[in-house]
Amino acid sequence: MLTENLLFLQCVSAQTTILAVRASNGIIIASDSLQKVIIPSTGVGVPEKSVRQSVCKIYQFGNIFYATSGSLLSNPKTGFIGDKVIAKAFQKDKDIADNVDRFGNELQDPLKEAIENVKIEYPDYFEQNIFNHEPVQLLIAGIENGVPILMTRGFKVASSLGEPVRIEINKQGCKEPTCQQDHPFYIALGKHDALDRYVDNNPNIWSPGITDDAVRRLVEVEIADKPEDVGPPVDILFVGINQMQWIQKKPGCPAKHYGVAD
């Protein structure tokens, strides 16, 4: 999933679009495929470098499906890799909410260390891409007791520039049958301004119901709006009460994460 031979910092999926829509019978998750691995400038006259590549962004662990976004999903200088924290935190015998809380607890210390390192060594990158942003975002979906569960966690740097790094956790989700009333519940991570406007301007997009075509269209709207940051193809997964089905998936994308055992 990551490009390990780049020197300092893999800023993975900072420019990405991940969308999940919850209906009464399941959840549709869609993502773009563009990954920009960014190596920040090391000083005056040294330009920032980036590598564009097509990657898989939706993964499975047991009954949990997840995707990540953010401007600091790894920092080799401190040994921080967000995906490895997920592999360590998630447990198959626990419910989704427990796994999400455990991930939040496990992430705090290594993420703070990674951010402090960037703040000291690459202050410009810190101020532009991490400070007052969510350098790690996690989307989690699954089915429990016949109920579609959709949750997100965003880890935001809430401290001032002169203070030690302090992280605030932003929580969203829909995990009760009653949280969805007369319209679908959707969450988007990463870049989503254009698709939000599209939903506002096209209130009938979900009529007569949620379709993979509608979800695909929303990600494509974001790709068209920000082609330098969000790119095709679109992967789409349906997590239903009775089945899981890939609607569209790039060749070579594993169903399960590389670091997670069956």
Identify the bridge partners of residue 31 per DSSP, sorted by sequence position.
18, 235
- C-alpha–C-alpha distance, residues 50 and 76, integer Å: 16
Say what the pLDDT of residue 260 is: 42
Say what the pLDDT of residue 255 is: 58
- Counting every residue written for the chain, the total comes to 262
Say what the pLDDT of residue 181 is: 55
User: 22: which residues sit within 8 A by CB, 6+ positions away?
Assistant: 141, 148, 150, 174, 180, 184, 185, 186
- Cα 114 to Cα 109, 137, 166, 169, 253: the distances in Å are 9, 15, 12, 17, 28
pLDDT in tens, 73-123: 888 889 898 889 998 898 877 889 999 999 999 999 999 999 999 899 888
At 256, the pLDDT band (50, 70, 90 cuts) reads low
Say what the pLDDT of residue 58 is: 93
Q: Could you count the other beta carbons within 10 Å of the beta carbon of residue 115?
A: 26
pLDDT in tens, 207-243: 877 889 999 999 999 999 999 889 999 999 999 988 8
pLDDT in tens, 234-249: 999 999 988 889 999 9
Say what the pLDDT of residue 187 is: 92
| Both structure tokens of 17 | 């679009």
At 31, the pLDDT band (50, 70, 90 cuts) reads very high
Q: Could you count the other beta carbons within 10 Å of the beta carbon of residue 92?
A: 12
Which domains does the chain show, CATH number per domain? Answer: 17-248 (3.60.20.10)
Task: Indicate the pTM of the whole model.
Answer: 0.85
- C-alpha–C-alpha distance, residues 155 and 132, integer Å: 10
- Percent of the chain whose predicted confidence (pLDDT) is above 90: 43
User: 44: which residues sit within 8 A by CB, 6+ positions away?
Assistant: none
Amino acid identity of 137? Answer: Q
Sign of CA dihedral 125, 75, 82, 28: positive
Give the residue, 83 or 24, on which the prediction is more confident: 83
| Both structure tokens of 64 | 């949990």
DSSP count for the chain of H helices, then E strands: 5, 14
